[in-house]
Amino acid sequence: MSPLLILAIAFVVLTIMGIPLFVSVGMTTLLALYLIDIPYTLMAQTGYSSLTPFPLLTIPLFVLAGRLMEVGGMASRMIGIATTLVGAYRGSMGLVTVFACMLFAALSGSGPATTAAIGSVTVPAMKREGYDVPFAAAITASAGALGSLIPPSNLMIIYGLVSETSIPRLFLAGLLPGLMVTILLMITTYIIARRRGYGGDGAAFTWAPFLKALWDGKWSIGAPVLILGGIYGGAFTPTEAAGVAVFYSLFVGLVIYRELTLQKLIDALRFTALLTGILILLTPTLAFGQLTAFYDVPTAVQEGITSLTENPFLVLLLIAIFYIFIGTFMESLAQIVLFTAVFLPLVTSLGIDPVLFGVFTVITCEIGFLTPPLGANLTVAARISGISIERISVAVLPFILAYIIGMIVLILIPDLTLFLPNWAYGIAK
């Protein structure tokens, strides 16, 4: 039996047994080291090096900033701005949820965090307006996934570190696709809501309420302007921007809105610790990723796929099918760390830009957020709405289709992703 087959069986068996993913990957990695007689110290060395990169600080800092903005009153004011824009349309509160998630995504960098922040306000509101609860939860889960596509994005940071791709370029590349997916989700929400007769009782759009909501929420809107403007204006790096975001959210919550209390601050720190604890996956997954080179896995994958087709569109479609399947039971962070090293050499050999592949990878991970049994966003939405993941999983299917359509558009029109980073890079040169 070949070593690769032994490792595959070991990993599958450990996963099926319900052993935590980082343990399953770690034990499989140790078995791989034993089979090719490499010292186990590789694991310790990788563990140290995987957690020392300075940009990794960006993830807990953005998660903390997003949580502070939620409990400090900034998220509710974003919802107020969104409500004045789309309150008179069918599915108004659903549209508000999607739009507010898009705004909050520019603060949190996390899909589950965005789902929790916006959904905790809008799901109860949709219930009061007579929305079917699984539909309300599905809107929140799918729109919350925008937190991983619209910059700043934690998944893009991890991809940038693993692939050695510019993180600011990845952030820029996510803007237009993020807006496109937002529109697709809003269209899906509107069509379903119109058929079922949800919403549409709010006041028609007028400038006065919108300008008032905008003025009340000016400090909330100022956050993404400060963060992204500072990064692309050259004032600070993404990691420094995350630190600025924490300070800004503390200042606004404590001094301006005065809704941030000591207890809320402690809860925000606890939430951040729990959510960023997933970084424990980095050590075993990076070590396992390094071992793929010893087993010549990237070359084998490249030869296997190119023997079927060398058409870039079809290759990306095959990778997407694999990623979406893997995403049903594997954490997105582990998915990116493990398989970027396998597929990136293949796609670059076909002329696909690493930045485009990064955005493509993040979109497939977003679909993974919405597919059981793992489905991180489904879990958060189920907790907020009080219904089972199974019921939400059925209701979320139209929104998964919207993500798939968005992914196909990005594959067919690469300039939609690459226009902004290439334009900014051209100006910088």
Structure tokens given for 309:
């087709």
Residue 264 lies in a domain: yes
Share of the chain above pLDDT 70, in %: 96
- Tell me which residue of 324, 323, 322, 314 sits closest to 347, measured CA to CA: 314
Structure tokens given for 352:
């696909």
Structure tokens given for 427:
């100006």
User: pLDDT tens for residues 257-298?
Assistant: 999 999 999 999 998 888 787 788 788 888 887 777 777 777
User: Which residues in 116-150 are b (16+ Cβ under 10 Å) and which e?
Assistant: bbbbbbbbebbbebebbbbbbbbbbbbbbbbbbbb
Residue 382 lies in a domain: yes
Question: Pick the residue with more confidence: 89 or 167?
Answer: 167
Residue 270 lies in a domain: yes
- Tell me which residue of 118, 173, 172, 167 sits closest to 145, measured CA to CA: 118
The mean pLDDT of 10-14, rounded to a whole number, is 85
Residue 2 lies in a domain: no
Which pLDDT score, from 0 to 100, does residue 360 have?
97
> Domain limits at 270?
39-428
Answer yes or no: is pLDDT of 217 > 80: yes
Answer yes or no: is pLDDT of 48 > 80: no
Q: How far apart are CA 127 and CA 136, in angstroms?
A: 7
Question: Pick the residue with more confidence: 330 or 203?
Answer: 330
Q: Identify the helix (H) or strand (E) that includes residue 362.
A: helix 354-369
Answer yes or no: is pLDDT of 363 > 90: yes
Question: Pick the residue with more confidence: 87 or 291?
Answer: 291
Which pLDDT score, from 0 to 100, does residue 429 have?
45
Q: Is 199 exposed, middle or buried (0-12, 13-18, 19+ CB in 10 A)?
A: buried
Q: What is the 3-state secondary structure (H, E, C) of 157-184?
A: HHHHHHHCCCHHHHHHHCHHHHHHHHHH
Which pLDDT score, from 0 to 100, does residue 8 have?
81
Counting the structural domains of the chain, the total is 1
Q: How far apart are CA 367 and CA 393, in angstroms?
A: 12
Please give the single-letter amino acid code of residue 379. T
User: pLDDT tens for residues 150-178?
Assistant: 988 889 999 999 898 999 999 999 999 99
Residue 59 pLDDT class (50, 70, 90 cuts)? confident
Residue 29 lies in a domain: no
User: pLDDT tens for residues 295-349?
Assistant: 777 788 888 888 889 999 999 999 999 999 888 888 888 889 888 988 999 999 9
Alpha helix ranges (H) inside 40-166: 41-50, 58-71, 74-86, 92-108, 111-128, 133-144, 154-163
What are the residues facing 90 on neighbouring strands? 199
Question: Pick the residue with more confidence: 420 or 8?
Answer: 420
Which pLDDT score, from 0 to 100, does residue 291 have?
78
Specify the pTM: 0.87
Q: How far apart are CA 346 and CA 239, in angstroms?
A: 30
User: pLDDT tens for residues 382-423?
Assistant: 988 999 888 999 999 999 999 999 999 999 999 999 999 988
